[in-house]
Structure 1
Amino acid sequence: MSIPGTQERAALLETLGTFLGQRREFAAVSRREWFQPDMANAQAYADSLPLYREEWKRLLGWPLTEPAAAAETECELLSQDALGRVFRVSQRLFGIVRTYGLLFLPAAEGRYPLVIAQHGGKGSPELAAGLTEIGSANYNRLVHGLRERGIAVFAQQLLVWDDGQEPKFDQYLLDRQFRHLGGSRVAFDLCQLQGSFNWLLEHPEIDPDHVGMAGLSYGGFYTLAFTALEPRIRVAVASCFVNDRFRYNWEDLVWGGSALRFLDGEIARMVCPRPLFLEAGEADDVFSVEGFSAPAGEVEKCYKALGLGDRCERRTHPGGHEYDIDGKAEAFLLKWL
């Protein structure tokens, strides 16, 4: 015996799926018609991006939309190892919030190019740098490889830690708290990155004309999101993130009306005309490799249309949800840094 109303509720869900599908088709047209940077040449393209950067900020919301005073910063030497010096950089953001990251400098004082190495979900600066009991896990040589090359590396702690990290917290609950107030957790994390970035570019041992960013998973997203906003970053690597955002519509990666303005392809195209490396793992069990090709292809097509095909590289590697298994991403970073 069927429960009364079952057939009617099934019809409701079926027809609602059709209704939403029609809206997704409309959103695709809306994005194409709205996101139209000037394709005349590379400089014209770059000059046309500020409008889109401001809309990206507006979409993510508070506190990214607020003017931020220079953050109070403390830099403490933690240790020295065979590759150089390790510092903790602490900031007081908006005069209240205490943030931190790790800065790795070569042993000798000098002036060095910088890469911001961004951890992903369930991660931390310590994990990405291999400073935990399990080493660097799926970050592989993200930090260590660059340090071996004499590159300064900065790793920011963002609000996406989990397994093995203390204290425990719910990143999705935190995001909902921000949304109630007109913002998002992502907006706050980007403020963290901006505060650290501004301080780093004034550091006497950092060459501000040679700065790149690379990240895995959520770190790949933050690499695209922050590089899109910050034109002083020269080159970016986003690993194991770009995908079909309708399939992977996690609540903290979706904002009101975002499909009408920015999905992964549009965010990545705000990095253009600067060099960009995109990769996905063929055995990735977090973001299926099948969803990588379409948005990554859109990005590559944009670079080629501007005559900048050598500045965009997209590839799949035979590994899983992991960063740069063979050094190709690192080589790309070093080439353009």
Structure 2
Amino acid sequence: MRVDEPGADPALSVLDRSLDREAVSAQQRLEFLRELTTPFLRMRTDTEPKIIEQVACDGYRRDRIELELLSGMRFRAYVLVPDQVAAPAPAVLAVHGHGYGSRQITGLLPDGGPDPDDLDGHHHFAVALARRGLLVMAPDVVGFGERRSRADRGYDTDAGNSCYRLASTLLMQGATLAGLRVVELLGVLDQLAARDDVDPDRIGIVGHSGGSMLSMIVAALDERVRASVLCGYPNTFADSIRSVRHCLCNYLPGVLTLAEQPDLLELIMPRRLFLESGERDPIFPRAGFERAAAKLAEGYAAAGVADRFGTDLHPGGHEVSGWQSFAWLERALTD
């Protein structure tokens, strides 16, 4: 089944008609995703995480740790450890989207102070997961928050991210920012699975927006991810990435010759997958979400695992809801 695409620019439609994604195998699509990581694999390094601070919070402990998973690239992450949960516990890798980094999903402001208002689309979702008894690791994704480039911060201290500078430079070197971020997240997954207080057989992933794209790729490549919740990104490329102007970091060179987004989402099958989107999301439209969800539902049903797939089209915009997805994830990791 092919996903119907809306009318394209005439300059692009000629190439569209020449594509035959039906003939592409799942293995070829997996290999495409693996190749995104290839330029960075030689940089992988193993260092012990360093604990910077520990803070007692309401229902959990918040640890700030420092990691170096690619040579010369030190960064920080938060680990939220629920109170009174027996180890080894189920765990979640939480991946933020565009914004100011891991602090945005762990209840903090950009300066590290507490955020009492929760007004942005991430809705402190790492905290919500920890309060469900899930140990959560939330890393800073390269290009955001403290990981913006010096050049961008020097040019504009209020620059929201370094995506354009990083993505364009890496493209000129034959690599992608998505590949860099995924390699690092796979290293974070290694760190999470190696913890004494984590059950390595009960690990999930939750991403929002651009973090959802990265989570999709990580889950496709690493079968340790038992259950995935993807928020504010699941759609078709035709309805979203191609029809609405997005950050450069969303574009994967060559992907349309092999797959539409639902084809990539199917690589997670038969493991558990939940897709969440807002009815009023202006950059990942409802129609595209419904097309993608229908194709995934068909695929899971054909594989005899329809009960492992779920969706929620909530009434909000480009934001995390969690109203259905977080309870689903908790069940998936604790049953």
TM-score (normalizing by structure 2)? 0.83
Question: Does structure 1 residue 24 correspond to structure 2 residue 16?
Answer: yes
Compute the displacement of 1:235 (Å): 0.2
1:125-175 Cα distance to aligned partner (Å, 9 max, x none) = 111122223436322352222222221011111135379x97644311210
Query: What does 1:1-150 align with in structure 2 at a 5 Å threshold?
Result: 17-27=9-19, 29=20, 31-35=21-25, 37=26, 49=27, 52-59=29-36, 62-63=39-40, 65-66=41-42, 68-108=44-84, 110-132=87-109, 133=115, 134-135=117-118, 137-140=120-123, 142-150=125-133
SS in 2 for 1:277: strand
- Tell which deviates more after alignment, 106-115 or 223-232: 106-115
Structure 2 CA distance, aligned partners of 1:282 and 1:129? Answer: 25
TM-aligned CA deviation for residue 267 of structure 1: 1.7
Q: Percent identity?
A: 23
Structure 2 vs 1, CA of residues 307 and 227 (structure 1 numbering), >3 Å: closer, same or farther? same
The CA distance in 2 between the partners of 1:160 and 1:120, in whole Å, is 11
Structure 1 runs of 4+ with >6 Å offset = none
* Contact 2:104-2:124 within 8 A present in 1 as well: no
**Cα distance in 1 for residues equivalent to 2:188 and 2:162:** 24
Q: Distance in 2 between matches of 1:278 and 1:84?
A: 27
Correspondence list, 1:173-252, <5 A: 173-246=165-238, 247-249=240-242, 250=246, 251-252=248-249
Q: Distance in 1 between matches of 2:249 and 2:324?
A: 30
- Superimposed CA distance per residue, residues 93-131 of structure 1 (whole angstroms, 9 cap, x where no aligned partner): 332111221111123573211011211112421111222
Measure the CA separation in 2 of the matches of 1:243 and 1:321: 13
Corresponding position of 1:256: 253
Residue 130 of structure 1 contacts residue 137 of structure 1 at CA under 8 Å; is this kept in 2?
no
For 1:328, the aligned partner's letter is: Q
Please give the TM-score of this superposition, normalised by the length of structure 1.
Answer: 0.82
Inter-CA distance 111–162: structure 2 relative to 1 (3 Å threshold)? closer
Aligned residues: CA RMSD: 2.4
Q: Which has the higher Rg, Structure 1 or Structure 2? A: 1
Q: 1:296 aligned to 2:289?
A: no
Q: How far is the alpha carbon of 1:309 from its aligned partner?
A: 0.8
Q: Any unmatched runs of 5+ in structure 2?
A: 1-7, 110-114
Shift of 1:291: 1.7
- Distance apart, 1:33 and its partner CA: 0.9
Q: Is the 8 A contact 1:72 1:93 kept in 2?
A: no
Counterparts of 1:202 and 1:252 in 2: how far apart (Å)? 30
Where do 5+ consecutive residues of structure 1 fail to align?
1-15, 38-48
Letter matched to residue 336 of structure 1: A
Residue correspondences, number: 304
Q: Which secondary structure does the structure 2 equivalent of 1:307 belong to?
A: coil
Deviations 1:33-64 (A, max 9, x none): 103x4xxxxxxxxxxx5x5433212146522x
Match of 1:45 in 2: none
Residue range with higher mean Cα deviation, 259-268 or 301-310: 259-268
Pair 102,162 (structure 1): closer, same or farther in 2 beyond 3 Å = closer
Amino acid in structure 2 at the alignment position of 1:241: Y
What is the one-letter code of the residue matched to 1:257?
Answer: G
Taking the aligned partners of 1:85 and 1:264, their CA distance within structure 2 comes to 37
Measure the CA separation in 1 of the matches of 2:127 and 2:53: 18
> What's the CA shift for 1:277?
0.5
